[in-house]
Amino acid sequence: MQSCEISSDSTDDPLSRALHRHRQPRIVVIGAGLAGLAATKTLLENGFTNVTVLEASDRIGGRVQSIQHGKTTLELGATWIHGANGNPIYHLAEENGLLEHTTEEERSVGRISLYAKNGVAHYQTNNGKRIPKDLVEEFSDLYNEVESCESSSPSMDEVSLSEFGEWTEIPGAHHVIPVGFIKVVEILAQDIPSRVLHLSKPVRRIHWNCSSQDAEEIADQADHNQDQRPSPSPVCVECEDAECLLADHVIVTASLGFLKKAHETLFSPGLPQDKAQAIQKLGISTTDKIFLEFAEPFWSPECNSIQFVWEDEAQLESQAYPEELWYRKICSFDVLYPPERYGHMLSGWICGEEALRMERCDDETVAEICTELLRQFTGNQNIPKPRRILRSSWGSNPYIRGSYSFTQVGSSGRDVERLAEPLPYIKNTKAPPLQVLFAGEATHRKYYSTTHGALLSGQREANRLIELYQYSFGAETTKPNI
Answer yes or no: do 340 and 296 share one domain.
yes
| For residues 354-358, average pLDDT | 95
Residue 430 lies in a domain: yes
Length of the chain: 482
| For residues 397-415, average pLDDT | 92
The CATH number of whichever domain residue 320 belongs to comes to 3.90.660.10
pLDDT of residue 19: 73
Residue 251 lies in a domain: yes
Classify residue 343 as left (phi > 0), alpha (psi -120 to 50) or beta: left
Q: Which of 324, 356, 391 is the last residue of a domain?
A: 391
More reliable by pLDDT, 428 or 98: 98
Residue 118 scores a pLDDT above 80? no
**Banded model confidence at residue 56, pLDDT cuts 50, 70, 90:** very high
pLDDT (tens digit per residue) in 284-334? 999 999 999 999 999 999 999 999 988 865 455 445 567 889 999 998 999
| For residues 277-289, average pLDDT | 95
Residue 121 scores a pLDDT above 90? no
| For residues 258-281, average pLDDT | 97
Residue 216 lies in a domain: yes
The CATH number of whichever domain residue 213 belongs to comes to 3.50.50.60
Write out the residue range of the structural domain in which residue 246 sits. 14-61+184-283+401-473
Residue 200 lies in a domain: yes
Answer yes or no: do 373 and 412 share one domain.
no
First-last CA distance in the chain: 30
pLDDT of residue 50: 96
Helix, strand, or coil (residue 162)? coil
Rounded Cα distance, 274 and 412, in Å? 13
Answer yes or no: do 406 and 271 share one domain.
yes
| For residues 454-478, average pLDDT | 86
pLDDT (tens digit per residue) in 86-104? 999 999 999 999 997 777 6
Residue 144 scores a pLDDT above 80? no
Answer yes or no: do 449 and 387 share one domain.
no
| For residues 61-80, average pLDDT | 93
pLDDT of residue 155: 63
Answer yes or no: do 46 and 194 share one domain.
yes
Answer yes or no: do 294 and 383 share one domain.
yes
**Banded model confidence at residue 148, pLDDT cuts 50, 70, 90:** low
Residue 481 lies in a domain: no
Distance of CA 266 to the CA centre of its chain: 20
Residue 2 scores a pLDDT above 50? no
Answer yes or no: do 225 and 268 share one domain.
yes
Residue type, 417: E
**Banded model confidence at residue 5, pLDDT cuts 50, 70, 90:** very low
Residue 154 scores a pLDDT above 80? no
Q: Which of 361, 391, 421 is the last residue of a domain?
A: 391
Cβ burial of 190 (10 Å; 0-12, 13-18, 19+) is exposed
pLDDT (tens digit per residue) in 196-229? 999 999 999 999 998 755 666 666 665 554 444 5
pLDDT of residue 226: 40
Cβ burial of 259 (10 Å; 0-12, 13-18, 19+) is buried
Contact between 333 and 98 (Cβ < 8 Å): no
Residue 143 scores a pLDDT above 90? no
For the chain, the domain total comes to 2
pLDDT (tens digit per residue) in 370-403? 999 999 999 999 999 999 999 999 999 999 999 9
pLDDT of residue 40: 98
pLDDT of residue 422: 97
Residue type, 194: S
pLDDT of residue 15: 77
Q: Which of 391, 418, 444 is the last residue of a domain?
A: 391
Task: Give the list of residues 6+ apart from residue 297 with CB closer than 8 angstroms, or none.
Answer: 335, 339, 344
Answer yes or no: do 234 and 299 share one domain.
no
Residue 132 lies in a domain: yes
Answer yes or no: do 275 and 325 share one domain.
no
Residue 73 scores a pLDDT above 60? yes
Q: Which of 95-104, 216-225, 230-239, 260-269 has the highest mean pLDDT?
A: 260-269
Task: Kindly state the percentage of the chain with pLDDT values over 70.
Answer: 79
**Banded model confidence at residue 33, pLDDT cuts 50, 70, 90:** very high
pLDDT of residue 114: 38
Answer yes or no: do 200 and 230 share one domain.
yes
Answer yes or no: do 445 and 352 share one domain.
no
Residue 279 lies in a domain: yes
Answer yes or no: do 261 and 353 share one domain.
no
Mean pLDDT of the chain: 86
Residue 159 lies in a domain: no
Task: Give the list of residues 6+ apart from residue 281 with CB closer than 8 angstroms, or none.
Answer: 408, 410, 411, 415
**Banded model confidence at residue 477, pLDDT cuts 50, 70, 90:** very low
**Banded model confidence at residue 23, pLDDT cuts 50, 70, 90:** confident
